[in-house]
Chains A and B, each alone.
Chain A
């Protein structure tokens, strides 16, 4: 057997071993989470090695009912957290995407003084760690009584705008300028060019950016923890889930909460996987 043939067989075999490995390490935690989320906690404690929940438990949806029911009715009040998180995420997405589209367009296309500084600044700020910014913002917002959802939206904007700007700017630079110049010559003004030429061409990229911003805002933990941990009414989903974990809440109820918080993000990614992966490598998402 020559070396080439030997290597072909060896790596052919290793490839399949690797595929199995990656499928197991990624799918297993996901399936484990879903499976536990349906179980009754006593069932888990009696027979922790059993993987599948019983059919009765799946149909009863007890854990999901518990986690969603308001605290007044003995549940964990997840509906409120869902509402808070959805509100935060949607406002952040709309404002960030709108502002970033125009700024990124200007930074990519228009000529104005200070453009270089702005472009360099975007990269610098994009790399900036949240923790260093978090302390002064925490102090400022505490002082002015802004430690609420409005304050949190503003802080999220500061986190997401640099990411969105960075991604969109590199995208706009790939659109041939000649297309836009043709529009200008045909009598459109700048906004006409943006609306009729640039935006339609960039629709997939903008959608990708919007989804990333949604993901960042929806998953965010540190800032929510710093800002609103002492106000349970304002907890976001990640914060609510973490806080439940520190009190005596059954494990399987926590898993139901984890499924609820993960589903929107996972669904979005499976629906839009192709252009999302392209978007990610074009800009990279902080985290």
Chain B
């Protein structure tokens, strides 16, 4: 099951028939195929449209209404006078801009670190060695294990009173640190965020396997000749990596960066489960759920989620316009 993007066989067949049946009344067979195509797609399309497309559009309408959770049973969804008050309320609180900033820092560093660590891991297991398949299997654990379980393990490892990390710090003669509860620490005279850094490291740890698998698959599809030729010409390991391996990974990196950026930007579980959004780690998604469940203000939650989606769309447009590089197989 190699990830080939297009199948030449398939292409040929399509063009043949298209040329054969051009602009004529479609044959009975073609009409049957058309009906069958729709019949097969319909159930899944119906679910996706009614549970994703429709809700997203309806979210816009919710964001323009004053709806609170308690009034939900009485609200008439179809008659309302639109108001922008929700947008004013969610952007007006003191937390708003720090939350947006935190989201950016978290997303950018989380994405870059998980890709970097994934590349490193892929290079390490690229060539066979004893125990390689065990190492490869282990490296999937952070990604496939339930997020609730792994965040819990991290919280316990970093617990200030009985966590193993602090036990070791103490044995080394250092102070105990509340890694997930302290907003900042001073390092070489500079004030750096602490809890946020830990959350970002968690992100790198949990999602490097995703990048790792994609990069490894690409590495193993490389033609060996290029590197062999370079070796014959006397290229060293670092030169081969820099001039031959890395350029070939450009495509997979731009896809991975895109996917991980989108998903990290909208990530809720990880931050919520690690810190609950305290100690300078509150990202926009956590704030959205706070509006929804904490303050029972549906209109505000909808407005904030639209702002989040809007920022993401702007970023994606910028990315596709100036940075994206099509993967050429």
Contact = CB atoms under 8 A, between A and B. Distances in A.
Interface of A: 3-4, 7-8, 11, 15, 18-19, 22-23, 25-27, 29-30, 32-33, 36, 44-45, 48-49, 51, 99-100, 102-103, 105-107, 109-115, 118, 121, 125, 127-133, 135-140, 142-143, 154-155, 157-158, 161-162, 165, 170-171, 173-178, 181, 190, 204-205, 208, 215, 218-219, 221-222, 225-226, 229, 237-239, 241-242, 245, 251, 254-255, 257-259, 261-262, 265-266, 269-270, 273, 275, 277-282, 284-287
A275 B1 contact: yes
B195 to A, nearest CB: 17
Contact of A22 (B1, B17, B30, B138): B138
B145 A265 contact: yes
A113 B59 CA distance: 30
Given A45-B162, A173-B10, A132 B309 contact: yes
8 nearest A-B residue pairs (beta carbon): A112-B37, A129-B266, A158-B51, A136-B55, A106-B40, A258-B149, A110-B37, A48-B162
B305 A281 contact: no
Interface stretch (B180-188, B233-241, B318-326): B233-241
B58 interface: yes
B286 to A, nearest CB: 10
B52 A125 contact: yes
Contacts of A229: 293
Nearest to B133: A273
Given A278-B1, A282-B1, A133 B135 contact: no
B20 interface: no
Contacts of B265: 129
A121 B48 CA distance: 10
A129 B263 CA distance: 7
A105 B138 CA distance: 34
A48 to B, nearest CB: 4
Contacts of A175: 7
Q: In terms of DSSP, what is the predominant structure of the interface of chain A?
A: helix
Nearest to B155: A245
Given A135-B301, A221-B147, A26 B139 contact: yes
Given A26-B139, A275-B1, A261 B213 contact: no
A136 B1 contact: no
Given A103-B41, A110-B36, A157-B51, A245 B263 contact: no
| Size class of the B contact interface (CB-based, 8 Å) | 35 or more
B1 A111 contact: no
B262 interface: yes
Given A29-B153, A99-B43, A174 B4 contact: yes
Given A49-B171, A135-B288, A270 B55 contact: no
Contacts of A258: 146, 148-149, 152-153
B34 interface: yes
B85 interface: no
A103 B40 contact: yes
Interface in B23-57: 30, 33-38, 40-41, 43-45, 47-48, 51-56
B281 interface: no
A3 B236 contact: yes
Given A44-B162, A133-B56, A238-B147, 17 more contacts: A4-B234, A4-B236, A32-B153, A103-B43, A112-B37, A121-B48, A132-B56, A143-B72, A157-B47, A161-B48, A190-B33, A238-B146, A258-B152, A269-B140, A269-B144, A278-B217, A280-B210
A35 B25 CA distance: 71
B108 interface: no
Contact of A131 (B129, B138, B156, B268): B268
Nearest to A5: B236
A218 B9 contact: no
Contact of B47 (A99, A280, A284): A99
Given A132-B305, A215-B144, A273 B137 contact: yes
B315 interface: no
